[in-house]
């Protein structure tokens, strides 16, 4: 069975717009983000087999228009939330600009096991969570598209781990991820497609969008490059 997955970044949040927020999970969508979520719902040419969302407010709000369009589709919340490495340094009513120095300090440590207080997450834990997500996807029984409403750094962690094969990161790997993250843009409501062919192969990152090919399956649209 070919497994197809859409990783969907949430719409524009108040944090993305530079407004103060009350912790990493509480930032809601802006008016622009709600429009993006509605456009995302309209992009589906058929119902997905399963809808999954992060428990964070902005991801759940992005998923809501799709849930309303396809009320018969099962919906679950999984731990696909954003990387919350700042912990207690993500203070109440602070902006991204105010938090930036703390974020720079975190990445400059290059310590995959470092944890800030207040429920911070280590880089190693992020990669472990990304790999657990892929394993959970592989074990699902659904035959059809799985739509996952998630977050930018988590989506990059999934892609990076697949592309590099890293499952147990050291300092060099953490530096590599930061370079990858800086060179990889995942705008609001971007769709990153994964597919897993039948057989012994694992998940693959689709190297280009196929959502504009309404009637083409991922398998048809991703033949080996040397055959083109």
188-206 confidence digits (pLDDT tens): 999 999 998 865 668 989 8
pLDDT value for 88: 77
What global pTM score does this model have? 0.90
Beta bridge partners of 145: 4
Helix (H) or strand (E) holding 109: helix 96-109
DSSP 67: H
73-107 confidence digits (pLDDT tens): 999 999 999 999 998 778 788 999 999 999 999 99
What is the pLDDT averaged over residues 151-180?
97
Across the chain, mean pLDDT equals 89
Q: pLDDT band at 213, cuts 50/70/90?
A: low
DSSP structure string for 120-155:
---HHHHHHHHHHHHHHHHH----SEEEEEE-HHHH
pLDDT value for 202: 85
Enumerate domains of the chain plus CATH numbers.
Answer: 3-227 (3.40.50.1240)
125-135 confidence digits (pLDDT tens): 999 999 999 99
Least confident of 3-7, 150-154, 210-214: 210-214
Residue 135, both tokens = 């394993």
DSSP 227: G
pLDDT value for 219: 40
109-114: list long-range contacts, CB under 8 Å, 24+ apart.
Answer: 110/171, 110/174, 110/175, 111/171, 111/174, 112/169, 112/170, 112/171, 112/173, 112/174
Q: pLDDT band at 217, cuts 50/70/90?
A: very low
Residue 80 phi, psi dihedral angles, 5° rounding: -110, 30
Give the percent of the chain with pLDDT over 90.
75
pLDDT value for 225: 37
52-73 confidence digits (pLDDT tens): 999 999 999 999 999 999 999 9
């Amino acid at each position: 069975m070919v497994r197809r997955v859409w990783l969907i970044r949430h719409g524009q949040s108040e944090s993305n717009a530079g407004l103060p927020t009350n912790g990493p999970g509480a930032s809601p969508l802006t008016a622009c983000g709600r429009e993006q979520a509605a456009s995302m719902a309209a992009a589906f040419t058929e119902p997905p087999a399963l809808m999954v969302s992060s428990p964070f407010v902005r991801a759940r709000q992005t998923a809501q228009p799709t849930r309303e369009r396809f009320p018969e589709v099962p919906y679950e919340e999984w731990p696909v939330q954003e990387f919350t490495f700042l912990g207690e340094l993500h203070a109440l009513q602070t902006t991204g600009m105010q938090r930036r120095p703390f974020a720079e300090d975190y990445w400059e440590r290059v310590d995959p096991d470092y944890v800030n207080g207040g429920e911070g997450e280590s880089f190693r834990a992020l990669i472990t969570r990304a790999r657990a997500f892929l394993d959970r996807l592989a074990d699902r029984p659904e035959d059809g598209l799985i739509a996952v409403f998630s977050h930018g750094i988590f989506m990059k962690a999934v892609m990076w781990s697949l592309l590099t094969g890293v499952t147990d990161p050291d300092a060099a790997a953490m530096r590599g991820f930061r370079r990858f993250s800086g060179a990889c843009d995942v705008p609001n409501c971007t769709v990153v497609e994964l597919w897993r062919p039948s057989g012994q192969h694992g998940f693959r990152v689709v190297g280009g969008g196929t959502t504009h090919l309404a009637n083409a399956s991922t398998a048809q649209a991703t033949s080996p490059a040397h055959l083109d």
